[in-house]
Structure formats: structure tokens, C-alpha cells
Amino acid sequence: MLKLSLNSNYNGETSPLFTHQAAKQTRAFHQQIDGYQPTPLVSLPTLAQHLGVKAILVKDESKRFGLNAFKVLGGSYALGRLLADHLNVDISEIDLKTVSEKLPKPLVFTTATAGNHGTGVAWAAREMGQKAVVYMPKGSPQASVERIRGLGAECIVTDVNYDDTVRLASQTADENGWTLVQDTAWEGYETIPTWISQGYITMADEALEQAQADNMTPTHIMLQAGVGAMAGGVLGYFADALGADNFKAIIGEPSAADCIFRSADAGDMTPVTGDLTSIMAGLACGEPNPVTWPILRDCSDACVSADDSIAALGMRILGNPLKGDQAVISGESGAITMGILYRLMTTDEGKAFAEQLGLGADSTVMIFSTEGDTNPIRYRDIVWNGAHS
């Protein structure tokens, strides 16, 4: 099931926080990390022809630093900025291999996560010789817990939902003198979430460079949102780089936690409460990020609330391509936009909405598969066994 809504708040106003110029700094930081290379931008020409669009471009973040997800971009950049501030040096002077030698003892960084953000923080802390304590909400898959622990971090699963786990991590950090590295913001806590969202725009800068190298500038950009940290940062980048009026931005969320959809409808940040249960664990967040909400409010063209079957559909489409197209292994949170695109182009209700957004034969659609099979057992259950069909 899909709920579709045009964003009546659109005014095209860009953000000074998420710009093409800011991407130069974040990408320069990431480029000096061992193993850095741009993740692939996969073209799916057969699927594009099948759905009646000019091109479909998929940014495959399963290849990012061997961590199977994009989130490390934000966590690593935020830790780099924090260590630079701690040492009173510029971010360009932070060398991951030697930064720990400049500190009398390791710093402790903590965060709450549905999985991928915590993995990124744990990995970055390990690479920089620091410590990480990661909190996860109830129901978190054991595979994610073990992945984080395997990176040397302490991982604690709580008995509350994601948003309450964030509050617990913040409280514990204050009590212990640790540094909270959270990808959402609230009053008095905006700087670090801003750095995290800026870290994500490395991904957008790569994608635009790759698309334009093949003369395929996107006309439609589809982004998934939890709190909106990635969606807002990436949308801000494209609005600055291309001009907000030169493409259509579509934001997708799980129906169980569609806080951006509801906020766009209300014209102001509107939280979603409850268990927020969805297979899209990385998007199961009920409170919008106030740092990135303004750019989502001002520059997104439409919002879509989708149930779990839409994400499962996207996973199967990407993992089992039409002849001539390349397979993309995409997890639940990574595949929601592909599922949405398919439904927009193949159902009567979807086609009417697609027409309003100008989706058609001249459209180049860019989507971001933000994770691979981070939960391999559930991935197989969905793609092999047809779960959530």
C-alpha cells in the first residue's frame, strides 16, 4: 500500500549547510581513508525501458568501505571533526592512522542506532583508535549486534523504541562524560548531527559526478527518510548543485514511521509515536531531524508512505534484474524507493501521481540503495521465500 502526497510547502529555498562546496571538504576527508573509492552508480536500461522512463541510476552503497552501507560516511566525518576540534586543528590535518597518538587516552563516543549508523561509528572509532558504545532499540536483529561488536564496540540492546533509545544514549553520555554522535538533532544539539548529514553528501557528489560523466543528469531523485538526516543532506546538495527547480525530489518512508510525510502534510515537524515496527529498521524513526527538516520542507516535491511489502518488492526487483541489467543487493531500507518507483509506473493510482511529477519517457531517475544485505537471514527470507509479498 502507498500513500502519496504532493508537498505544498515547496519554495525551492536552498540550505547553506549542504552545498556543492561543502561536499569538497567532506569528500577530501573520505578520500584519505584507506580503501576509499566511489561506490558504483549502476544503470538499469532494461528496467527503465520496461517502466517507461529514459534511465534509472542506482547508487550501490553495499560497496562502501566493506561495511555494506553508506552510514559510515556520516559517522567518520563527525568523528574527524570532533577530534579536530579536540586537538584544535583543521579537519584536513586529521590522519586516521596517527590521530590517536596525539591523545593521552582514547575518547569514548556513544550513539543510538537501528544498525548501520552504529556500525559506521564503531568502525570509525576503531580506525581512529577511539572507543565506541552503541545502543540499539528493542527487536534489533542479532546480526546487527554482532556486526557492531565485531568492530570492537560495546553494543547494548534496550527495551524501548528507537527514539527513546536516542534519549537513553544521550543521558548515558552526559552521565559518563562521553561524546554523543547522533544522526538526529534537538534544541542545543545541532552541530554533530549537521556534520553527520554533511558527511553523507560525499555519496551525492560521487553520484552526480558519475551521472554527468555519462551525460545523464537526474531529472528525478528518490530518497528514503528515517529522521531525514541523509535525505535532507543529499537533497540540499542537489538543490545547490543543480538548482531546486531543475529536478523533482520524492521522499519515501515506511508507513509505520512516516514522520516526514506527516510533517510535510502539516507544514511543521510532526512526530510518530509507538513501536515504529517495520522491516526497514534503518528508517523506523518517529521524530524528524530539525537540522534537515527545513530543506525537506522547502525542496522536496512529494512524499510517499509505503508499507513493508513495497520495500520487499524493491529488494526482489534489484536482486533479480531483467536481462541485460546488473543485480544490486539491496536491503530493506535501501530498496524502498525502487519499490515505490515500480508502483508509480505500473499501477493506475501510481501512474496518475507519476504524471503530476513529470515521470515519463524523458525522465532520468536516481535512487540510492543505501544498504546491502545487512541482515542476510531476513534478506533471503524476503528475496528467496517471498516474505512480505
**pLDDT tens-place string over residues 30-40:** 999 999 999 99
Of 17, 76, 198, residue with least CA distance to 84: 76
**C-alpha torsion 276→170→62→363, nearest 10:** 60
What are phi and psi for residue 180, nearest 5 degrees? Answer: -80, 130
Q: How confident is the model at residue 97 (pLDDT cuts 50, 70, 90)?
A: confident
- The CA distances from residue 247 to 154, 300, 358, 364, in Å, are 43, 10, 10, 10
Segment 51-80 shows an average pLDDT of 96
- 276 pLDDT higher than 90: no
- 140 pLDDT higher than 90: no
pLDDT of 65: 94
Segment 303-319 shows an average pLDDT of 98
pLDDT of 309: 97
Mean pLDDT (the chain) is 95
Convert 165-214 into a string of H (helix), E (strand) and C (coil): HHHHHHHHHHHHCCEECCCCCECCECHHHHHHHHHHHHHHHHHHHHHHHC
Q: How confident is the model at residue 247 (pLDDT cuts 50, 70, 90)?
A: very high
**pLDDT tens-place string over residues 252-263:** 999 999 999 999
Check: CB of residue 9 under 8 Å from CB of residue 266. Answer: no
Check: CB of residue 343 under 8 Å from CB of residue 353. Answer: no
Segment 297-311 shows an average pLDDT of 98
* Helix (H) / strand (E) containing 110: strand 108-112
Segment 119-148 shows an average pLDDT of 93
Distance CA 283, CA 276 (A): 9
- Paired sense of beta strands 108-112 and 55-60, if any: unpaired
- 163 pLDDT higher than 90: no
**pLDDT tens-place string over residues 350-384:** 999 999 999 999 999 999 999 999 999 999 999 99
pLDDT of 195: 97
- 115 pLDDT higher than 80: no
pLDDT of 141: 85
pTM of the model: 0.95
Of 19, 8, 11, residue with least CA distance to 242: 19
Distance CA 218, CA 83 (A): 36
Q: How confident is the model at residue 152 (pLDDT cuts 50, 70, 90)?
A: very high
Distance CA 205, CA 225 (A): 19
pLDDT of 384: 95
pLDDT of 89: 95
Segment 131-149 shows an average pLDDT of 92
